[in-house]
Amino acid sequence: MIVSLFSAVFEFRVPIRNGLACPIIDKDGAIQDPFATKRRFLRSALQHDCFDGVRCYRMPVSRTLIYRGRTAGPALMLVLLACAGCASQGGRPVSAPVEQDASAAAHPAIAAAAPWWREAGDPVLATLVQQGLDQSPEVACRIGALRQFDQETAQDAQRLGTRLSKLLGARSREDIPRLRDAKVERVASERLRVARRIALAYIEVRRLQQDAALRSSLIAQYKDNAQVARFRREAGLVPAIDGSLARSQDEAMAGELGIAQGRSSHAIAELARLVGDRPEALAGKLGSPGVLPDPPVDPLAVAGPGEPRRAGLADAILREARLSQSLSEARRTVKDARTAYREGVGSFATLYVAEAAALAVELALVSARADRVATTLDIWSGQDERWAREGLEPVVGPTSLSSDATITVTAGCD
């Protein structure tokens, strides 16, 4: 048939739809050979199918046949390549095939999986991670690049150039799923990275909030110590060094509290940047004092035998347990030391050391707990990554893309 096309000495005037010329197809769905049928070709063919946007419609046949004294083979070849896939489908319009069909068949809709950050037992954390994913420009950029790829693929499926490129060895149908999968992986990896960063930043904020809250709770206690020491010194019951130590303890704690509050504010500002919020608004959502989340999972069950951080996580769990026991003993020591000093049977130096030791143990316990929670969430976040691919399935079907719709993609994000 190709030989007869190139040897033809006439050409057709055929209907045009959206810049695509359509060949004549007979009632059996076969393309007629113009060299054999000649003038009977137009008169015997009752209908033909033609692309109109992203659909095929059955159209009446033009009865015009123009004889030319030149070869029309190349033009006919392009016409047939453009519309050969449009076959008789009855009186109803049917969807034109799009390049994304192969990708959609290879990757059906993924069942929704509950994200780890929604199962962590902390509604504030869940809200912030979702907010950060919605506000992240990196995630939005990669999703925009994926949707733009889908849009361009759908549009290319209707163009003559793509049909010719299949024969010439250019971007083939088999390349599309691979290219799309790569873009989906970019979106998923960015979602995973953003969620993990927000969770770790949230744990750090909670740790620093508890640090500042502990120091703040001791301000009144240290002022009371200084007052008792001053009364006892004025009464001549204790040396002047007790008053000096009490004042030093009070002033040192005030300074450390200011530093801790500054670190907490800085961490809140960083978390606000990650979730796309204002630090003042975020501070109100977080509340104070903060409470570290306690994931409802066994840390060692989450960290399998092949996890390199399993040994460190086990040590953190043991350290937390030892510090919890030590804190109980340290608090009893402080209580006994305060009672002894007030009754005049103990020195202020003993009380000073006991209180400093109890504070150090409590701060260490907060840090150990924060490390255990952060490591658990970090490992847990890599257990099931299906949630990061939700909503990324290709859009296929007859839905036409709006001519005025725009997808903005930042250069270099993909």
* HSE (side-chain half, CA atoms, 13 Å) at 173: 15
275-285, pLDDT tens digit by residue? Answer: 999 999 999 99
Structure token pair of residue 77? 């070849």
284-293, pLDDT tens digit by residue? Answer: 999 877 789 8
Structure token pair of residue 229? 């020491």
pLDDT at 111: 52
pTM of the model: 0.68
pLDDT at residue 410 is higher than 80:
no
317-337, pLDDT tens digit by residue? Answer: 999 999 999 999 999 999 999
207-262, pLDDT tens digit by residue? Answer: 999 999 999 999 998 988 888 888 888 888 888 888 888 889 999 999 999 999 99
13-70, pLDDT tens digit by residue? Answer: 344 344 344 444 444 544 444 444 444 433 333 344 443 333 333 344 443 333 333 4
Question: Which of 33, 146, 88 lies closest to 394 in space, CA to CA?
Answer: 146
By residue count, the chain amounts to 414
- The Cα 161–Cα 82 span in angstroms is 9
Q: Is the peptide bond before 394 cis (omega within 30 degrees of 0)?
A: no
CA distances from 123 to 119, 196, 221, 383 (A): 9, 16, 34, 20
